[in-house]
Structure 1
Amino acid sequence: DIYRKAHKYYITNFRIVSAKEFITHEFREVTFDKISDIVLKQGVLGRVFGFGSLIPITTSGFGLGSDFSIAGGGILSRGVGVGIGGGKSVNIPRGRSYFILYGVRKPREVLNLISQIRYEYIEAPYLRKISQDLERVMMQVAGTKLLKCPKCGVDIIGDSNYCSNCGFKLKS
């Protein structure tokens, strides 16, 4: 139980931070744009008592382990040998405990929360650009003067007091 309590997980609006502070200190930080998949592992006891493990898998394959099996055979006759063999590797979601959100209570709720934040994080830049483009077109149609924010360079309405993108104060 001491080892389990040595693991801490933090979900922010930008990333997942996992830390293990047992004998050594190890930290991992994964931003939502790097996560390609999240795997929920929940055994029988986990389903009964409401806990499980979440494995964030990155586009580079972080969070995946591999199993390799090999078979071979050979024949030896009069000092001459012949051998054949083959193998197969399978990538499966697994990793060290500080790379996995281990022993999470209500794992389905946490999985849904991470998925929701992940999609919002991925869509946010596109939605901001669409919003700015739409605002620019509407101002041009209405004949309102457009200015550029001196701090971030975004187009803003001429009578605005603050930049809608960075919050820079435009007027005193």
Structure 2
Amino acid sequence: MEQTEEQFFSSLGQEFMDLRNPKAEERFFNNNAFKSEFRFEPGEQLLYLSYQNIKYSIFQVSLPFIIIAAISIGIPFALSVFDGLVAIISIILFGVVAIVMIIFKVIGATSFRYLITNKRIVVGYTFLQRWARSVDYTNIVDIILRKGFVGRWFDIGNLFIITGSNEGMMGGVQGGNIKNVIQMRGFLNIHQPFRVKKLIKRIMDFYANPEMEIPKLYIPELERTTIQHPQELQLYPDEVVYKSYKMKRASSFFKMLVPLAAGGLYIFQAVPELLGLVSVDNLLLAVGILIGTLIIIMYVVSKYHSKGFDYYVTDRRIIMFKKFITIRQRDAIMGKISEISIFQMAVGRVANFGQVKIGTKGFENVSKLGNLLCIQGIENASQEKDDIRNIVLHYQRGKLYSPLMEIDDPENFSA
């Protein structure tokens, strides 16, 4: 007799109960930031939640200091030039630096979040910057397990989650640029990686069964929006637009900051050398003028730059349109979207803007189309990421999760 979906995941939860991390679960579910950025779907059941192994992370950062300290003391001692005072000072300095590094390493390790539910896998990070990657089991094409020489002592390893969008490649894709691929590719430095991989594979096999029917859920009416769209988009007469976004001006400002600053520094170095306009006496004045000029330029240009980006989520596709100097457009068809992730720099968390990346079953990382790989610089990026994913799931599987459903029927949710 075949198991129902509920029976399957209930037995699976019992079988892999040893992977549960009560401390991590308590820490995350008591964290307001985690609650605001991660929402369970109706009927979603948590099977695994953890972060990077703390003991192994401490060992990683401590080992180089131990080796350097041993060499710095051992070599002088062997050469009979050992100075006790110098050795003590060296040990104290090494110790202080090591303690600071360990503190940051522990904070960083516990800022990761790795979740496995009965519906998806989530990889995220929230320390200064924030990003998260959500992958459905049907979009996973491979899982690579790697356990290093030292990791074998601790039973610690990495799981790389590979999808059809080429995300998860260990070294990136040649000719492209995968932002944060080192962190977002999967579960890093986790305990019992073989057991975790087995859990994921069991769920993948369950959803790979062609006879398995995904139960239909209540689908509330999607809210439609009226927009003033560029003529170049050429929306179909019956195409319905549910979401529209503009790049926030603050995002445009900081996006241009790096290239303009680099160009300003180049001019600052080149012009005095060629024309002899700047002497040592008025160096500070020249720097002040340069910085002020850059700020004025960025402030003016950012207004027009931010207005050149339009993003639309319709009932057929996600449209990413750029019209600033050049014109570029990308249509991500609903049925071809394989994953949706979020990236937010530290300044974006403060100014409330971020990127929502749209992964498809194609070659994602064409450098010339970098502006079209994600919905850039939008407000409330974490919430919008969930809303976009819900619309995509609605058209891929006939499912839609609305936050209002949690209020209407809290029993649908399982933590």
Match of 1:120 in 2: 206
Contact residue 7 and residue 98 of structure 1 kept, 8 A: no
Letter in 2 for 1:106: Q
State whether structure 2 residue 126 is matched by structure 1 residue 21: yes
Point out where structure 2 has 5 or more consecutive residues left out of the alignment: 1-105, 215-415
SS of residue paired to 1:111: helix
Tell me which amino acid in the other structure corresponds to 1:126: E
- Pairing 1:110–2:215 present: no
When normalised by structure 2's length, the TM-score is 0.24
| Aligned-partner SS, 1:121 | helix
Q: Paired residue for 1:49, among 133, 147, 154?
A: 154
AA of the residue aligned to 1:47: R
Describe the shift of the 1:46–1:15 C-alpha distance in structure 2 as closer, same or farther (beyond 3 A): same
Partners of 1:14 and 1:121 within 8 A in 2: no
- Compute the displacement of 1:100 (Å): 1.9
Please give the alpha-carbon distance, in whole angstroms, between the structure 2 residues aligned to 1:126 and 1:21. Answer: 39
Instruction: Say whether the 8 Å CA contact 1:55–1:101 is kept in structure 2.
Output: yes
Alignment of 1:157-168 (within 5 A): none
8 A contact 2:124–2:130 mirrored in 1: yes
Alignment equivalent of 1:35, drawn from 140, 144, 164: 140
* 2:62 is the alignment partner of 1:62: no
8 Å CA contact 2:114–2:122 kept in 1: the answer is: yes
Change (3 A) 1:121 1:127: closer
> Does the CA contact (< 8 Å) of 2:140 and 2:162 recur in 1?
yes
Identify the residue that residue 257 of structure 2 maps to in structure 1.
Answer: none
Q: Partner amino acid for 1:103?
A: N
- Structure 1 or 2: more strand by fraction: 1
1:65-80 matches, within 5 Å, as: 65-66=171-172
C-alpha distance in 2 between matches for 1:110 and 1:103: 12
Counterpart CA distance in 2 for 1:110 and 1:49 is 15
Q: CA deviation at 1:8?
A: 0.6
Q: Which runs of at least 4 in structure 1 moved beyond 2 Å after TM superposition?
A: 65-68
- Cα distance in 2 for partners of 1:32, 1:57 equals 11
Instruction: Output the CA distance in 2 between the equivalents of 1:101 and 1:51.
Output: 11
In the aligned structure 1, how far is the partner of 2:208 from the partner of 2:172? 29
SS in 2 for 1:96: helix
Could you list the runs of 5+ residues in structure 1 that have no partner in the other structure? Answer: 69-88, 130-172
Give the Cα–Cα distance (whole angstroms) in 2 for the partners of residues 51 and 110 of structure 1. Answer: 11
Equivalent position of 1:96 in the other structure: 182
| Structure 2 residue aligned with 1:76 | none
Equivalent pairs: percent with the same residue? 32
**Aligned twin of 1:11:** 116
* One-letter amino acid of the structure 2 residue matched with residue 105 of structure 1: H
Alpha-carbon distance, 1:127 to partner = 3.5
The Cα offsets for residues 95-154 of structure 1, whole Å up to 9 and x where unpaired, read as 32133211110000000110011110221x52449xxxxxxxxxxxxxxxxxxxxxxxxx
Alpha-carbon deviation of 1:67?
Answer: 7.2
State the match for 2:299 in structure 1: none
Q: Distance in 1 between matches of 2:147 and 2:193?
A: 8
Deviations, residues 13-62 of structure 1 (Å, cap 9, x unaligned): 11101110111111110000000000011101111101111000001211
Report how many residues are paired: 104
| Partner amino acid, structure 1, of 2:167 | F
- d(CA) in 1 for partners of 2:127 and 2:184? 11
Bigger proportion of residues as helix: 2
CA distance in structure 2 between the partners assigned to 1:62 and 1:7 by the alignment: 18
- Measured in 2, the distance between the counterparts of 1:14 and 1:58 equals 16
Amino acid at match of 2:185: F
Amino acid at match of 1:108: F
Separation in 1, partners of 2:146, 2:123? 17
